[in-house]
Amino acid sequence: MATVAKAAPQPIPRIAPREDLNPYRIAQIQFDIAAEYLKLDPGLRQILRTPKRILEVSVPTKMDNGQIKVFTGFRVQHNIARGPAKGGIRYHPAVTLDEVKALATWMTWKTATVNIPFGGGKGGVICDPKRMSKPELERMTRRFASEIFPIIGPDQDIPAPDVYTDSQTMAWIMDTYSMTKGRTSLGVVTGKPISIGGSEGRHEATARGCLVAVEEACKVKKMSLRGATVAIQGFGNAGSIAARLFAEKKARVVAISDSRGGVFNSRGIDPMKAARYKERSGTVVGMPGTSRISNDDLLTMKCDILIPAALENVITLNNADQIKAKIVAEAANGPTTPHADEVLARKGVTMIPDILANAGGVTVSYFEWVQDLQSFFWSEGEVNAKLELVMRRAFHEVHETARKHRTHMRTGAYVLAVGRVADATLVRGLFP
């Protein structure tokens, strides 16, 4: 009598019955699932799930009206077993310490997923940059840089842009750090302007890396990117550039959105016209030739490729079963909850997790750091070619790990990344 081979037992995710939307607890759940697959020692698990260093600072800033306002800022270094901490700085009124801890944790796994020699860090300031003038932002940024000065540096912790920060923000941090050191230090931040050691290709890197990951996913699913319908939630740096790059590949961008709402056109939206309209109006809503839709409607609309490129927790138990996309590529950090992951996996949706899909940014940040340390700079073509090699290799390593463990892509990425950091930690040992 023939016997039927039994599938390997699946580790049971330690998820609370009610969905927890705290980003740090979500990050820990994702780690715990991978740790179960890897059968990590309890002591090693404690090391890897605990941030190495947390710094909270007050940031007194003189406002344009002459008054002093004190902002709160954070810098978290989650793990440096594989190299200096690496991660962005975000300015947002909703920044919390748990959010920054989660983002630092995700950076540890992201750098390990694409196998670059960094650890994970993140920073943030609780502020509303939309209500601040450029001089106020400069004074706040410089004071924040001086407060976190003791723990950042080219061989310690290397900040980069994130939500509502940009190359100008990085230039101010680099200048503040350099003036304090008494010498120019190009490698203290990445995402800088080209004129002071920035890298060609860095501005487009997150979106370009996402495009490469989606191209590889299309090959796996045996579907064509040409003519595929794409919906993008979030029309900031990553989202707007992704729209243009996908359109250049002859995909059809049918919906885009920002914080005020979204727009839809089944025949396609011209990303360049959308970018110009948003620059004039401050939003894509109202763009001629489009119909208005909500951000929620965009997420659940019928499309081939969905790209969440905004903030955390937009795909949850509330809407996961309504997702109709064949591929979800997370250009944002943490847009999908663990419960939603399971729902999407059951539906057959290919999820390209954030620690892979948006790793193009940190990959080219690594290239920028290398160029700064060598004082030898590459052309945009060289940068893009190197980025494509890293992203394609990482995609297939994640896909193979997921296939080997009979799980979905996020857990595959975590098993790969956590395994690499665990190996580095064990080889280094504990001091003293």
Q: Catalytic residue, from 122, 192, 278, 326: name it.
A: 122
**pLDDT of 19:** 82
Residue 122 known to be catalytic: yes
* CA dihedral of 260, 165, 314, 305, whole degrees rounded to 10: 90
Task: Please give the domain boundaries of the chain with CATH numbers for all domains.
Answer: 51-186 (3.40.50.10860), 205-352 (3.40.50.720)
Instruction: Label residue 49 exposed, middle or buried (CB < 10 Å: 0-12, 13-18, 19+).
Output: middle
The total number of residues written for the chain in this structure: 432
**pLDDT of 312:** 87
**pLDDT of 9:** 47
Token representation of residue 226: 């040409």
**pLDDT of 311:** 81
Q: How many alpha carbons fall within 13 Å on the CB side of residue 274?
A: 30
**pLDDT of 15:** 45
Predicted confidence pLDDT, tens digits, the chain (432 residues): 444 444 444 554 444 447 888 999 999 999 999 999 999 999 999 999 999 999 999 999 999 999 999 999 999 999 999 999 999 999 999 999 999 999 999 999 999 999 999 999 999 999 999 999 999 999 999 999 999 999 999 999 999 999 899 999 999 999 999 999 999 999 999 999 999 999 999 999 999 999 999 999 999 999 999 999 999 999 988 999 999 999 999 999 999 999 899 999 999 999 999 999 999 999 999 999 999 999 999 999 999 999 999 988 999 999 999 999 999 999 999 999 999 999 999 999 999 999 999 999 999 999 999 999 999 999 999 999 999 999 999 999 999 999 999 999 999 999 999 999 999 999 999 999
Going by C-alpha positions, the residue among 87, 92, 113, 118 that lies closest to residue 102 is 87
- Residue 329, φ and ψ in degrees, nearest 5: -115, 115
**pLDDT of 131:** 97
Contact between residue 305 and residue 230 where contact means Cβ atoms under 8 Å apart: yes
Contact between residue 81 and residue 428 where contact means Cβ atoms under 8 Å apart: yes
Alpha carbon 225 to chain centroid, angstroms? 23
**pLDDT of 20:** 85
The residue type found at 228 is A
